[in-house]
Amino acid sequence: MAQRRPTLRDVADAAGVHVSLVSRVLRNDPRGFASEATRARILRAAEELGYRADVSARGLRSSKTMTLGLLLPGFSSPVYSAIAHGVEERATRHGYGVVLGTHAAGDPHETISDLVMHGRVDAMLVASGRIEDAALRRLVGRLPRSVVLVNRQVRGIAASVVLRDGDAAASAVAHLVGLGHRSICGVFGPSTLDTMVRRRRGFTRAARALQVEASTLEVADRDSAAGYEGAVRVLRSRRPPTALVAGTFPMGIGVLAAARDEGVAVPAEVSVLSVHNDQSADYLAPRLTTVSLPAESLGAEAVELAMVLTSGGTARRVVVPDEPQLLVRESTAPPPR
Partner DNA sequence: CTGTTAGCGCTTTCAC
Partner DNA sequence: GTGAAAGCGCTAACAG
Residues of the shown chain interacting with its own copies in the complex, contacts defined by CB under 8 A: 1-2, 5, 50, 52-57, 59-60, 65, 67, 70, 74-75, 80-82, 84-85, 88-89, 92, 97-102, 104, 106, 111, 113-115, 117-120, 141-145, 223-224, 228, 250, 253-254, 256-257, 260, 279-280, 282-285
Q: Cβ closer to its own copies: 69 or 166? A: 69
Ramachandran angles phi, psi of 250, nearest 5° = -55, -40
List the single partner that 97 binds among DNA, its own copies, none, CB under 5 to 8 Å by kind: its own copies
Q: Which long-range contacts (CB under 8 A, 24 or more apart) does 203-212 make?
A: 203/169, 203/170, 203/172, 203/173, 203/245, 205/166, 205/170, 206/169, 206/170, 206/171, 206/173, 206/174, 207/173, 210/173, 210/174, 210/177, 212/173, 212/177, 212/181, 212/182, 212/183, 212/184
In whole angstroms, the minimum distance from the beta carbon of 57 to DNA comes to 3
The yes or no reply on residue 18 touching DNA (CB under 7 A) is yes
Member of 13, 19, 174, 182 binding DNA (CB under 7 A): 19
In whole angstroms, the minimum distance from the beta carbon of 74 to its own copies comes to 6
Member of 13, 32, 190, 218 binding DNA (CB under 7 A): 32
**Alpha carbon distance 30, 49 (integer Å):** 24
169 contact partners, CB below 8 Å, separation of at least 6? 186, 198, 199, 200, 201, 202, 203, 206, 245, 247, 275, 291
- CB-based contact 110:79 (threshold 8 Å): no
The yes or no reply on residue 54 touching DNA (CB under 7 A) is yes
List the single partner that 156 binds among DNA, its own copies, none, CB under 5 to 8 Å by kind: none
List the single partner that 23 binds among DNA, its own copies, none, CB under 5 to 8 Å by kind: DNA
**Alpha carbon distance 95, 121 (integer Å):** 13
Tell me how far apart the 2 most distant CA atoms of the chain are, in Å: 87
Amino acid at 299: G
In whole angstroms, the minimum distance from the beta carbon of 25 to DNA comes to 8
Q: Cβ closer to its own copies: 192 or 280? A: 280
The yes or no reply on residue 48 touching DNA (CB under 7 A) is no
Q: Which residues bind DNA (CB under 7 A)?
A: 4, 7-9, 16-21, 23-24, 26-27, 29, 31-35, 37-39, 51, 53-54, 57-58, 60-63
